[in-house]
Amino acid sequence: MEENYQQIIKKNKAVTTGKTVLLYLGLTVWGVVVLFPFYWMLLTSVKSYSSYNAEYVPKLYTLAPTIRNYIDAFTAVPLARYFLNTLIFTVLTTLFMLFVTILAAFAFARLSFKGKDIVFAFFLSLMMIPNELVVITNFVTVTNLDLRNSFAGLILPSVTSVFYIYLLKENFEQIPEELYKAAKVDGTSDWRYLWKVMIPICRPTIVTITILKVIECWNSYIWPRLITDDAAYFLVSNGIQEIRENGFGRENIPAMMAAVVVISLPLVILFLIFHKKIMEGVSRGGTKG
Amino acid sequence: MKVVLEHLTKVFPGREKKNPKDVVAVSDFHFVIPDGKLVGLLGPSGCGKSTALNLISGLEVPTEGRIFFGDDDVTDLPPEHRGVGLVFQNYALYPHLTVRQNIRFPLENLKGDAKLSKEEMEDKVLEAAKVVQIEGLLDRKPAEMSGGQQQRVAIARALVKKPKVLLLDEPLSNLDARLRLQTREEIRRIQCETGITTIFVTHDQEEAMSISDSIVVMKEGKVQQVGAPQEVYDSPANLFVAKFLGNPQINVFEGTVTKERLYIGDDDLLEVKGVPDGKVLVGIRPEAFIWNREGAFCCDKKSVEVMGRDSSIVFGHAGAVTTQPRAIIDSELVSEKMEDQVRFDLRPKKVFLFHPETEERISFS
Amino acid sequence: MKKRSSSQFKAWLYLLPAALFLAVFLVYPLIDVLIYSFEEGFNFASQTYQGTGLYNYSYVLHDPYFIQALKNTFLIVIITVPLSTGLALLISLGLNKIKALKDLFQTIFFLPYVTNTLAVGLVFMILFKKTAYTDGMINVLLHAFGSPGVDFIEGPYWAKMFVMCLYTIWVVLPFKILILTSALASVNPMYYKAARVDGTSPARIFFRITLPMISPMIFYLVITGFIGAFKAYSDEVALFGTNLNAAGMNTIVGYVYDMLYGDSGGYPSYASAAALILFIVILTITAINLLVSNKKVSM
């Protein structure tokens, strides 16, 4: 019996160590797969045009980094313009979205009116409608309103999200009704109650939907592509596509990568600062796109 | 199967920021659990009793010390090879499996020579279900049963593979008061029928006292006393044990010993042979008091709570450390005529002396 | 009574902005797209059409570009949904087992979620592309293993499909890993302890305990994965450029947009018909998924 136990103990230790090593190895491999494109984009963006094109076998490092490509990215193509457009688009869309979403969620969560349940069910059913289906008419509508190549045309159809209304309404409803009654007794108006009590309490959810919307806006491509053909209104996604096809001349890949780095940077920085919050938020209520 | 714990110590390393200090959950555990007995590990929450159980089951590896099952050293043996059955505080029944599947689960893990046929498994499941009396519920899901029934299923699942040692972690804490009483009798019965060495963890002294062959009182990872319940109650090793066992709690007073006589305040109470002069802490069990108009212990009556057979007299005394000392006496003796000042005699066997600093027991005769 | 009606009015006022936006940009378009899809030969410039009927659908279903897009989309769905879900499960299980460096790995694995897929797609393109100057990083690697290499971006169909699927998986994995890691972490550890004491083998723990307990989340991921993959478009643009028909890599959504606007554009009725076909496909697949999951995930 003693002998047998000793064998089991030894085997158990060896297996555990082996498994741990294998586990970390596997995870590291995927880590490399994820990080390599980022490394490659940074690396290429600091290689000079001539040295990049001279490397038939691409080198995994460079000894003579240059910032020339970054200067090109801002001078040869209107990258700063795209950047600014995206910033305006993201900030305005997110603000409008918050305003509309907060009001609607409040109405559904706290106010009582006739037909509330039916209206809410109708709202929920709208969640199932894929964007691809309504984009066609929206394109026509915006064109007819003469809003192509304008911020209004870019922003207005992107404002509402039924899902965020739903998420916030659920959160609002968790605030005990007593608080609302107490406020009523004290003569607090609905408006004041919403801004002074509900929103501060639900700040985490509001931060979550703000972050999700910012990511969505920064990366949006399809609608801006349809609605803008004037480069003065391009967002970064369209800008990068434009750069790829007509920008530096097809072969200036280092300059293209510099532009890619500049475009990716804001969200990556945002992510590095808020990674806990963002991951928590996405797991609570996000799907990509 | 005899279980021997030799100088067991378990240290959880401190986390970098939150708790920079190491936590010693179990410290120098050293005792023997005899074969076929029911032993209760007793202590307030956070005293390391659950960790001790996890060490015995093999879910945790001790930092120091050895564990023996019989003569075999199992310290580094993974849990599945130890032959232990473990019942969790929240039962850990798999919610997606029926009762039958839950009980059969451990049997299906057996490999090689030990492998069982379907019929053998079914027999064993039925047998285990019979022991805990849930034969009629085999096709239900855990969510469709009461807490007490779930508890029985959990015990059946632990018993089905005929463990050498059965471990129960707070087996009664999730049940309501009435079920608790019933279930603890049940555990005693099952243990007697199967004869399996059983160790259970609890913070409830009454629970431990009522069914254990032997109890182990713990405090902050250290064993305070091991022994039969009555023995520990009648002869506590220190003030902590004396306070932890017994309901209502033991009354504590500050006293002095002068020339082998015990004084609390000015009251000359008992002869305490073999005790040197000096200050002592005096523990007096509530049932130690005998009402007597000529008694030596004089106190101010505050209130009387009649509770059927017994009554409890709450009183004040100059030397009291306990905030509300109480005496338990026969209800028939209590009458309207009881004055505001009451006097008691004391049963010497229910009075304990403790060292004022170490709080260790000082014996006297 | 008067008080009541004023509070009713106020409630509607709060709802007004949302209702207005939704009516104009979601409800009206939904009805409109149906109408478009039945108006034959609608001319965008003159706002006229020739008749009503099913011609638009028939045109789309016979359009070789649409057939190509349909084929591409289905391939992407069939390849990437199972692979990405399986891989995410594997990685999450690994993450759930380790303690040291767990946060670091989780953060790294999530990084693709916050990046602009159009931008990173370009990096994939240059990694996989063969040009006059260089064979590209991946081909150099392939040479090292003795393979002649291939242009993944403008080469044979299978090679293009390979990068396409690889990139799609790279993009969708972070979300799935995140969801599965939190699903795994929410399984009460006492079940694993109980299983360990009973000597349950790791494979059995996985199939009999872990998998059933996280199955609702897996089905959720499969359903959203199907929907997402059917709507594939911008990842394709990132790799192969805006003219997807020329690259032979168009998808259904891409076809809709091309019909609406772009090189072959200006036909909203065809676009509407194609979009509705896509919607019906997604609806059917989702319904099947839900039916299967309802049977399997009955706790």
pLDDT tens per residue across all 365 residues of chain B: 899 999 999 988 876 666 667 888 888 888 899 999 999 999 998 888 888 998 998 888 899 999 999 888 998 888 888 888 889 888 888 888 899 999 998 888 887 778 888 999 999 999 999 888 898 999 999 989 988 899 899 999 998 888 999 999 988 888 888 888 888 888 999 999 889 999 999 998 988 998 899 999 999 889 999 999 999 999 999 999 999 998 889 999 999 999 889 998 888 888 888 888 999 999 999 999 988 888 888 888 888 888 888 888 899 888 888 888 999 988 887 766 677 888 888 998 999 999 999 999 998 87
- Cα–Cα dist B26/B345, whole Å: 42
Q: How open is the CA angle C153-C243-C230, to the nearest 5 degrees?
A: 80
For residue A90, give the nearest of A270, A287, A286 by alpha carbon: A270
Question: Confidence class of residue A244 from pLDDT cuts 50, 70 and 90?
Answer: confident
Out of C114, C124, C133, the one facing A278 most closely (by C-beta) is C114
Its ipTM equals 0.87
Helices (H), A46-115: 49-54, 68-75, 79-109
User: Concatenated DSSP letters for B15-36?
Assistant: PSSS--S-EEEEEEEEEEE-TT
Question: Confidence class of residue A3 from pLDDT cuts 50, 70 and 90?
Answer: low
With residue B11 as reference, give the H or E element that holds it: strand B3-12
> Do A141 and C29 lie within an 8 Å CB cutoff?
yes
Question: Confidence class of residue A92 from pLDDT cuts 50, 70 and 90?
Answer: very high
For residue C296, the distance in angstroms to the closest alpha carbon of chain A comes to 24
Which residue of A6, A9, A17, A19 to mutate against B (max B Cβ within 10 Å)? A9
| Parallel, antiparallel or unpaired: strands B72-73 and B64-69 | antiparallel
Assess contact for A65 and A236: CB atoms under 8 A.
Answer: no
- Cα–Cα dist C240/C127, whole Å: 13
Structure tokens at A139: 């394109």
Tell me how far apart the 2 most distant CA atoms of chain A are, in Å.
88
Which pLDDT score is estimated for B336? 63
> Do C14 and A289 lie within an 8 Å CB cutoff?
no
In the predicted structure, residue A94 carries a pLDDT above the cut 90: yes
> Do B77 and A1 lie within an 8 Å CB cutoff?
no
Residue B221 identity = G
Structure tokens at B205: 């002294």
Nearest residue of chain B to residue C191 (CA atoms):
B92
Report the mean per-residue pLDDT for chain C: 86
Sort out which chain A residues have CB atoms less than 8 A from B72's CB and list them: 1-2, 5
pLDDT digits (tens, 9 = 90+) for C91-116: 999 999 888 888 899 999 999 998 88
Beta carbons within 10 angstroms of residue A241's beta carbon: 23
> Do B80 and C204 lie within an 8 Å CB cutoff?
no
In the predicted structure, residue C68 carries a pLDDT above the cut 90: yes
With residue A162 as reference, give the H or E element that holds it: helix A162-173
For residue B214, give the nearest of B224, B223, B226 by alpha carbon: B226
- Cα–Cα dist B299/B322, whole Å: 14
CA-to-CA separations, B53 to A31, A49, B22, B220, in angstroms, rounded = 39, 68, 20, 15
For residue C103, the distance in angstroms to the closest alpha carbon of chain B comes to 15
Question: Confidence class of residue C298 from pLDDT cuts 50, 70 and 90?
Answer: very low
User: Concatenated DSSP letters for B281-317?
Assistant: EEEE-GGGEEE-TT-SEEEEEEEEEEETTEEEEEEE-
Sort out which chain C residues have CB atoms less than 8 A from B109's CB and list them: 198-201, 204
> Do A1 and B72 lie within an 8 Å CB cutoff?
yes
Average of pLDDT values for A198-225?
Answer: 89
Q: How open is the CA angle C220-C225-C228, to the nearest 5 degrees?
A: 130
Looking at chain C, the whole-number percentage of residues with pLDDT higher than 70 is 93
Beta carbons within 10 angstroms of residue B4's beta carbon: 18
Residue B5 identity = L
With residue C219 as reference, give the H or E element that holds it: helix C211-230
For residue A173, the distance in angstroms to the closest alpha carbon of chain B comes to 28
Which pLDDT score is estimated for C89? 95
In the predicted structure, residue C140 carries a pLDDT above the cut 50: yes
- Cα–Cα dist A259/A80, whole Å: 10
Assess contact for B263 and B280: CB atoms under 8 A.
Answer: no
Q: Is the peptide bond before B248 cis (omega within 30 degrees of 0)?
A: yes
pLDDT digits (tens, 9 = 90+) for A106-149: 999 888 888 888 888 888 888 878 888 888 888 888 888 888 89
Average of pLDDT values for A225-241?
Answer: 87
Which pLDDT score is estimated for C2? 44
For chain B positions 68-87, those within 8 Å of chain A (CB to CB) are 71-74, 76-78, 81
Out of C109, C126, C140, the one facing A57 most closely (by C-beta) is C140
Average of pLDDT values for C118-124?
Answer: 90
For residue B357, the distance in angstroms to the closest alpha carbon of chain C comes to 42
Which residue of C101, C188, C197 to mutate against B (max B Cβ within 10 Å)? C197
Sort out which chain C residues have CB atoms less than 8 A from A221's CB and list them: 118, 234, 237
Sort out which chain A residues have CB atoms less than 8 A from C111's CB and list them: 34-35, 38, 268, 271
> Do A8 and B72 lie within an 8 Å CB cutoff?
no
Question: Confidence class of residue C43 from pLDDT cuts 50, 70 and 90?
Answer: low
- Cα–Cα dist A143/A150, whole Å: 11
Sort out which chain B residues have CB atoms less than 8 A from C204's CB and list them: 108-109
Sort out which chain A residues have CB atoms less than 8 A from C28's CB and list them: 137, 141
In the predicted structure, residue A1 carries a pLDDT above the cut 80: no
pLDDT digits (tens, 9 = 90+) for C227-280: 899 989 989 988 988 888 888 899 999 999 888 876 556 788 888 899 999 999
Sort out which chain C residues have CB atoms less than 8 A from A30's CB and list them: 91, 109
- Cα–Cα dist A111/C10, whole Å: 9
Which pLDDT score is estimated for C202? 86
Out of A35, A37, A113, the one facing C127 most closely (by C-beta) is A37
Question: Confidence class of residue A289 from pLDDT cuts 50, 70 and 90?
Answer: very low
Out of A5, A12, A13, the one facing B72 most closely (by C-beta) is A5
Residue with tokens 């085997």: A11
> Do A99 and C17 lie within an 8 Å CB cutoff?
yes
CB pairs under 8 A, 24+ apart, for B174-177?
Answer: B174/B89, B174/B90, B174/B91, B174/B147, B175/B147, B175/B148, B175/B151, B176/B147
Name chain A's partners: 3 or more CB pairs within 8 A. Answer: B, C
Structure tokens at A64: 């003579």
Nearest residue of chain A to residue C107 (CA atoms):
A275
> Do B59 and C213 lie within an 8 Å CB cutoff?
no
- Encode burial over B74-96: b for 16+ CB neighbours within 10 A, e otherwise: bbbbbbbebbbbbbbbebbbbeb
Which pLDDT score is estimated for B17? 62
Angle between helices A253-285 and A79-109 (to 10 degrees): 10
For residue B8, give the nearest of B42, B46, B57 by alpha carbon: B57
- Cα–Cα dist C18/C129, whole Å: 46
For residue C130, give the nearest of A39, A60, A56, A44 by alpha carbon: A56
Report helix, strand or coil for C39.
strand
Residues 6+ apart with CB under 8 A from C101: A24
Sort out which chain C residues have CB atoms less than 8 A from B59's CB and list them: 193, 196-197
